[in-house]
């Protein structure tokens, strides 16, 4: 199958061969090939970088409802790349891609709804899209959904669910979730209070670069309460 051969070449970093195969398929209006070729032009892989060509290819793929292309167009509108900066258009495209079950778009749609970027702020809709992205394994979506459950924004406050969400994201090595899980153990929210586990997760978050966790660990060290 030519498409699989193209992806095999891409994964082997043979971008010239990947481009040739994607181009053959793009001439047949294959949406995945159009989107992938757009990515090669955007990143300058096997071709001279051209954001204009990338935008044109993403647009063609988007007309064929290719979710990754729609998502990449959303980012271009959000960043004002090739097209004028337009957060409303970006959000509209994120929702289109999210409906087509593209996990990163689902997470970004949730984020824009939570923050009211390009749309009316809506915590319950944000929770819906975070949950959809979380079902597909997005660690940031698990973490942000956990925050909504902990705070009771857009959903009924539920510490047990927040604890589960933070645990799932922390297991995926997301520093923010590791820190949040440490707080849950420290406060006994959704679990039995366990200061040893709280410290363990705070350490992991600090090790993975979480600034607030690093400050806490450093403070405890300076007070002589722990050894790193």
Domain of residue 129: give its range. Answer: 65-136
Domain boundary among 61, 78, 105: 61
Q: Out of 61, 76, 93, pick the residue that ends a domain.
A: 61
Domain boundary among 111, 136, 161: 136
CATH number for the domain spanning 114: value is 1.25.40.10
pLDDT digits (tens, 9 = 90+) for 13-55: 999 999 999 999 999 999 999 999 999 999 999 999 999 999 9
Question: Based on the domain organization, do 130 and 83 belong to the same domain?
Answer: yes
Number of domains within the chain:
3
Integer distance in angstroms from the first to the last C-alpha of the chain?
Answer: 53
pLDDT tens per residue across span 172-182: 999 999 999 99
Which sign does the torsion angle of CA 46, 28, 93, 108 carry?
A: negative
């Amino acid at each position: 199958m030519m498409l699989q051969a193209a992806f095999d070449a891409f994964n082997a970093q043979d971008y010239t061969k990947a481009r040739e195969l994607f181009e053959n398929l793009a001439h047949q209006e294959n949406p995945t090939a159009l989107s992938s070729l757009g990515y090669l032009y955007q990143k300058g892989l096997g071709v001279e970088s051209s954001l204009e060509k990338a935008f044109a290819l993403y647009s063609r793929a988007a007309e064929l409802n290719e979710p990754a292309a729609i998502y990449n167009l959303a980012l271009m509108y959000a960043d004002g790349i090739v097209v004028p900066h337009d957060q409303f258009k970006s959000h509209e495209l994120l929702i289109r891609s999210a409906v087509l079950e593209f996990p990163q778009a689902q997470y970004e749609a949730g984020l824009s709804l939570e923050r009211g970027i390009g749309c009316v702020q809506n915590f319950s809709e944000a929770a819906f899209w975070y949950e959809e992205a979380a079902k597909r394994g997005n660690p940031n979506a698990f973490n942000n959904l956990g925050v909504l459950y902990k705070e009771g924004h857009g959903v009924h406050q539920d510490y047990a669910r927040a604890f589960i969400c933070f645990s799932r994201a922390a297991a995926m090595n997301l520093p923010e979730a590791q820190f949040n899980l440490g707080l849950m153990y420290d406060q006994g929210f959704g679990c039995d209070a366990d200061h040893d586990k709280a410290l363990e997760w705070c350490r992991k978050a600090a090790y993975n670069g979480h600034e607030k966790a690093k400050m806490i660990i450093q403070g405890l060290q300076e007070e002589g309460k722990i050894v790193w």
